[in-house]
Amino acid sequence: MRKLYYRTMRICAGVWAGSIMGPPSAGRGQWLRWLMSLSLFMLCVMMYIAFSNMSLPPVIQMGISDWAPYRTHPLKDKGWFERTCLQGTGPLGLEGIPDVIVDWRHSKHVECRDLYLTFIKLLEVRQEEGSVDLPDPFKVKVRSWLANDNSLFQHIYDQRMVFIRNKYTREENVFNPLRSKRPLPKLEKPERQYIEELSTQTKEGCDFCRYHEYTARDSLGRVEGLHSFTAANTFKLDRWHDLVLLKKHHPINWTQEEFLDLMETLLKWFEKVNQADQNYVYPSAIWDLLPHAGASQVHPHLHSFMDKERYQGFQDQWREAAMRYSGDFPKRNYFSDLIQLHAIMGLTVQYGSAVAFANIVPKKDNEMVIVSERADRDFFLLWYFVLRGFLDDMQNGTMCFSSGAAFPSMTGDTSSQSLPAYVRIITRGIVSDNRADISSLELFTTPNANTDPFHVISVMKESVLK
Ligand X SMILES: *[C@@H]1O[C@H](CO)[C@@H](O)[C@H](O)[C@H]1NC(C)=O
Residues that bind ligand X (CB under 6 A): 187, 250, 253, 395-396
CB of 248 to ligand X, least distance (A): 9
Of 167 and 250, CB closest to ligand X:
250
Of 118 and 199, CB closest to ligand X:
199
CB of 366 to ligand X, least distance (A): 12
Q: How far apart are CA 341 and CA 347, in angstroms?
A: 9
Q: Work out the widest C-alpha separation in the chain, in whole angstroms.
A: 117
Q: For residue 388, what is the enclosing H or E element?
A: helix 377-388
Of 112 and 358, CB closest to ligand X:
358
Strand partners, 173: 164
Q: How far apart are CA 242 and CA 251, in angstroms?
A: 19
- The residues, ordered by sequence, that sit 6+ positions from 164 with a Cβ below 8 Å of its Cβ are 97, 123, 124, 125, 172, 173, 175, 360, 361
Of 228 and 418, CB closest to ligand X:
228
CB of 193 to ligand X, least distance (A): 10
Residues in the chain, total:
466
CB of 249 to ligand X, least distance (A): 8
Helix/strand/coil percentages in the chain, nearest 5: 45, 15, 40
CB of 437 to ligand X, least distance (A): 17
Of 274 and 366, CB closest to ligand X:
366
Of 261 and 378, CB closest to ligand X:
261
Q: What angle do CA 338, 340, 342 make, to 5 degrees?
A: 70
CB of 133 to ligand X, least distance (A): 30
Q: 235 φ, ψ to 5°?
A: -115, 95
Q: How far apart are CA 438 and CA 448, in angstroms?
A: 10
